[in-house]
Amino acid sequence: MSSASQSLYNRRRVTNVVALLLSCATALFGLFFLAWILWTLLSKGVPGIDVNLFTKMTPPPMQEGGLLNAFFGSAVMCGLALAIGTPLGIAAGTWLAEYGNARKAGVVVRFVNDILLSAPSIVLGLFVYTLYVMQTGGRFSAFAGALSLAFIVLPVVVRTTDEMLRLVPAQMREAALSLGIPQWKVTVQVLYRAASAGILTGILLALARISGETAPLLFTAFGNQYWNSNVFQPMASVPVIMNQFAGSPYETWQTLAWSGALVLTVFVLLVSLGARALLLRNKISND
């Protein structure tokens, strides 16, 4: 090997070692802070996990209580958001994949959907506040909160449905159409069945995202320290209660905030694991 080739080889080895060390260092740096956050969450949240957390209402200052009304409110608003955003998202994604794929309108819709997908949640909350809350006389409500969360669900489901339907082989469409099956039956009975795992995964990921949103609910659902099952009245939610209690000077409120954060984190983890399990099962079945 010539001296020039040896010199080039040595420089490349040094560059490779330096890049490898920097990559490992940055990975460890990120993992350190992730472990720190998880340890803080566990150390501060676990002491408050008991029966009262799930059976009692949010308490006044310096009194014991739980987050029952907040858990109920979060479940109601997330459920309503999915009920509003999921059908619209699946319908829009189906149109994009099956009818608007080669049209200029489809390009525009995809572009707008990408903007909505990356829009800050507080902007969506302000939009619903202006569009709905102010038009109803400034009445905060769980429905308004669900509407703001639905605007977060919608682009996620649209993108997922569009991508999953476009991954379905064209031969499946052609085979079904050659049998004389109408287009709508092909979509419902063939394409949806083939893409169901991916679409459901997108819905679960949307649920994981909206379950921790605080900003849009501050402008729409506001909050409520009491039990309320009327969706047209203000309703408590875990993220808003966490935001309120974490900055308070009362130790009982701070403990509830950390416990709520831990429960919310575990819920998001389980939903994310469920989504990954669906994708893995679908991949195995296809193989």
Q: What is the DSSP string of 49-109?
A: -SHHHHHSPPPPTTS----HHHHHHHHHHHHHHHHHHHHHHHHHHHHHHHTSTTSHHHHHH
Provide the whole-model pTM.
Answer: 0.86
Which residue bears the tokens 């575990």?
Answer: 266
Domain that holds residue 220: 51-286
Q: What tens digit of pLDDT does each residue of 54-91 get?
A: 999 998 888 888 899 999 999 999 999 999 999 999 99
Residues 141 and 43 in one domain: no
Q: Which residue, among 110, 105, 101, 212, has the nearest Cα to 158 in the 3D structure?
A: 110
113's CB contacts (< 8 A; 6+ apart) are: 92, 155, 158, 159
Angle at 134 between CA 139 and CA 203, to 5 degrees: 80
* Torsion angles phi and psi, residue 219, rounded to 5: -95, -5
Q: Binning pLDDT at 50, 70 and 90, where does residue 235 land?
A: very high
Residues 156 and 259 in one domain: yes
Residues 14 and 101 in one domain: no
So what's the pLDDT on residue 73? 94
Residues 248 and 209 in one domain: yes
Residues 41 and 150 in one domain: no
Q: Binning pLDDT at 50, 70 and 90, where does residue 141 land?
A: very high
Residues 11 and 130 in one domain: no
